Structure 1
Amino acid sequence: MLLFVARKFLYLVPVLIAVSLLTFLIASLLPGDLAYTILGDQATPETVAALRRDMGLDQPIWIRYFGWLGHVLQGDFGRSFRTGQTVLQAVSERLPISFELMILAEIMCLAIGIPLAIICAARSGGPFDRFMTGTAFGMLSVPTFLSAILLIYLFAVELRWLPATGYVPFGEDPAANLRFMVLPALTLALAEWPGIMRVLRSDMIATLQEDYIALAKAKGLKASRILFVHALKPSSLTLVTITGINIGRLIGGAVIVETIFALPGIGRLLVGAIATRDLIILQGVVLLVGAGFVLMNFIVDMLYAALDPRIRHGHA
């Protein structure tokens, strides 16, 4: 197991380097001059040239990359020229909000997707299975922003059960916090539960056709025990994989959802950095989010190996 973990960890190094390089290139090759953005259009050419020298913008891009990477490895991701706040400060303030949003959305995804997958697998080919499979395909085609608008109209405008936008910290008022987080989390969940249901349903249908399932039925075991113990448990590997993939999709969806629902999370910070051309915040946030996604996949691989010893033995 230790050898498997070590090898997987070594694979992270080139991936993280590639993420950092891509992040730097995207931020560096965007149209416009960072020095002009900082100083404004009224700045003189001499002033702009002096700032470019101070920031190293007059140097070749590969020298700038290694200089920036060296600062990153020391924990210095830069400082916003708009607010004066460091990247780590900006991210640390907003990360708990995005993290809470993704956790709630993932819980909702699993709460919707797993029961439906079990029922559909147990009634494979029946009316309910066909209806839910068609519904899942339909839900995959609905844009996140449209789901958000419909949920706001139904629950905030018509029924007035939940607030449309805003945020209250959990430590300040837990009940109010959950009321503000329900609609954003549900919006993300509606986009992701069909994937969980379809994959788990297919896996469970295949499992229910195995010989040991037929043997369990011949022994007279209850249908519920066969479904939840003998069929669902082997499919936990598939569930771990799809959950890990969902985390990456939730990160992307959070950008849209946080903007629509005015949540001060990482997604809204990223959108604000793009709107104000705050390239320091932009590349810092993109790098940290990308690295977080890579590490999340590493954790999923470790869980997968822990659940199925054949995987780690196969890589030993």
Structure 2
Amino acid sequence: MLFFVARRLLYLTPVLIAVSLLTFFIASLLPGDLAYVILGDQATPENVAALRKDMGLDQPVWIRYFSWLGNILQGDFGRSFRTGQTVLQAVTERLPVSIELMLLAEIIGLIIGVPLAIVCAARSGSAFDRFVTGSAFAMLSVPAFLSAILLIYLFAVELRWLPATGYISFTEDPAANLRFMVLPALTLALAEWPGIMRVLRSDMIATLQEDYIALAKAKGLKASRILFVHALKPSSLTLVTITGINIGRLIGGTVIVETIFALPGIGRLLIGAIYTRDLIILQGVVLLVGAGFVIVNFIVDLLYAVLDPRIRHGHA
């Protein structure tokens, strides 16, 4: 297992370097001059030249990249020229909101998708199975902003059960926090459960046709035990992968959802940095989000090895 982890970490290094390269060069190639943006009305040629020299903007791009990467490795992601706040401070303040939103969305997606997948696999080809799979396919085509608007109209405007926008910290008031987070999390979950359901359903249908399932039935085991003990675990490998990939989808979804529901998370921080052309914050947030996505996939690989020992021994 240690050899497997070490090998995966070795593979992880070039991926993280590639993420840093893409983050730096994409932000560096954006139109406009950062010195002019920072100076604003005071952007005289002399001031611009002095600031460019002070920030190293007059150096070749590859020198700037290695200087930036060196600062990153020392924990210095830069400082916003608009607010004076460091990137790590800005991210640390807003990250708990985004993590809570993603966890709630993933939990709701699993609560909806997994039971439906099990029932559809057990009753494959039935009217219920066709209805659920058709509904899942339809939900995949519904954009997050449309789901958000419909949920706000139904639960906040018409029924008045939940607030439409705003946020209260969990440590301040857990009950109020969950009331504000339900609609955003449900918006993301509505886009997540169809993929979870369809993948797990297909895997379970294939698993239920295996010989050992027929042997379990011949022994007279209960149908519920066969489904949940003998069929669900072998079918969960792909589900683990989908759950890990969904983190990337959820990160993208939070940008829209946090803006609609006025949540002070990473998504709104990123949008604000784009609107104000705060490239330091933009670079830092994109790098941290990208690195986080890579690390989540690394954890998924480790879970694969835990669920199926053949993978870490190279026999799968």
TM over 0.5: yes
Q: Percent identity?
A: 88
TM-score (norm 1): 0.99
Classify the secondary structure of the residue corresponding to 2:199.
helix
Q: Give 5+ residue unaligned stretches, structure 2.
A: none
Are 1:116 and 2:121 counterparts?
A: no
What is the aligned partner in structure 1 of residue 202 from structure 2? 202
What is the aligned partner in structure 2 of residue 281 from structure 1? 281
Are 1:244 and 2:259 counterparts?
A: no
Q: What is the 5 A alignment of 1:10-21?
A: 10-21=10-21
What is the aligned partner in structure 1 of residue 102 from structure 2? 102
What is the aligned partner in structure 2 of residue 308 from structure 1? 308
Task: Give CA deviations for 1:67-90 in whole Å, capped at 9, x if unaligned.
Answer: 000000000000000100000000
Deviation at 1:236, TM superposition (A): 2.0
**C-alpha RMSD of matched pairs (Å):** 1.0
Classify the secondary structure of the residue corresponding to 2:198.
helix
Distance of aligned partners of 1:315 and 1:2 in 2 relative to their CA distance in 1, 3 Å threshold: farther
Runs of 4+ residues deviating >2 angstroms? none
AA partner of residue 195 (structure 2): G
| Contact 1:248–1:293 (Cα < 8 Å) also in 2 | yes
AA partner of residue 10 (structure 1): L
| Contact 1:4–1:315 (Cα < 8 Å) also in 2 | no
Distance 1:97 1:70 in 2: 29
Distance 2:63 2:226 in 1: 61
AA partner of residue 251 (structure 1): I
Distance 2:43 2:270 in 1: 27
Deviation at 1:218, TM superposition (A): 1.2
Q: What is the 5 A alignment of 1:225-304?
A: 225-304=225-304
TM-score (norm 2): 0.99
What is the aligned partner in structure 1 of residue 87 from structure 2? 87
Task: Give CA deviations for 1:283-316 in whole Å, capped at 9, x if unaligned.
Answer: 0000000001111111110011011010011079
Q: Give 5+ residue unaligned stretches, structure 1.
A: none
What is the aligned partner in structure 1 of residue 37 from structure 2? 37
Distance 1:179 1:82 in 2: 33
Distance 1:249 1:143 in 2: 12
Distance 2:205 2:236 in 1: 14
Task: Give CA deviations for 1:185-244 in whole Å, capped at 9, x if unaligned.
Answer: 000000110000000000000000001111111111111111111111211212211111
What is the aligned partner in structure 2 of residue 188 from structure 1? 188
Deviation at 1:41, TM superposition (A): 4.2
Q: What is the 5 A alignment of 1:22-171?
A: 22-171=22-171
Select between 91-100 and 225-234 the one with higher mean Cα deviation: 225-234
